[in-house]
Amino acid sequence: MQKIKMNDEVIVIAGKDKGSIGTVTKIANNKVVVEGLNIAKKHTKPNPNAGVTGGIIDTEMPMAVSNVAIYNTKTKKADRVGVRTDKDGNKERFFKSNGDSIV
């Protein structure tokens, strides 16, 4: 089970956006894309056939999963994630600091 999933609220713990909070929009190969963070300028060529105008575009770049931690809204801090089974036998993620389940 993955510790960080889509639509999780995370806080950046390393890099140029350290301390920023955002929502995970994409996960692939131990990389995550966080909404509105890790913005880079990409230069694109115009393509008249596809209707794409050229220029400089701001895009969200992926960052390593190790550079983000899940954000606990009760403690207002970064937290670690654990996995446990509930009474029905289903796996659930929980915050290590206070034991609350992650929705």
Task: Report if residue 97 sits inside a domain.
Answer: no
- Position 45, amino acid: K
Number of domains the chain contains: 1
Which CATH number fits the domain that encloses residue 21? 2.30.30.30
Specify the pLDDT at position 6.
95
Specify the pLDDT at position 103.
79
Specify the pLDDT at position 64.
96
Task: Report if residue 65 sits inside a domain.
Answer: yes
Spatial separation of the C-alpha atoms in residues 42 and 58, rounded to whole Å: 6
Task: Report if residue 86 sits inside a domain.
Answer: no
Mean pLDDT on 40-53 = 94
Which residue reads 């996960």 in tokens?
27
Mean pLDDT on 20-38 = 95
Answer whether residue 45 shows pLDDT above 90: yes
Specify the pLDDT at position 88.
92
Q: Which residues of 39-63 are buried (b: 16+ CB within 10 A; e: fewer)?
A: eeeeeeeeeeeeeeeeeeeeebeeb
Structural domain harbouring 18: 9-47+54-78
Task: Report if residue 103 sits inside a domain.
Answer: no
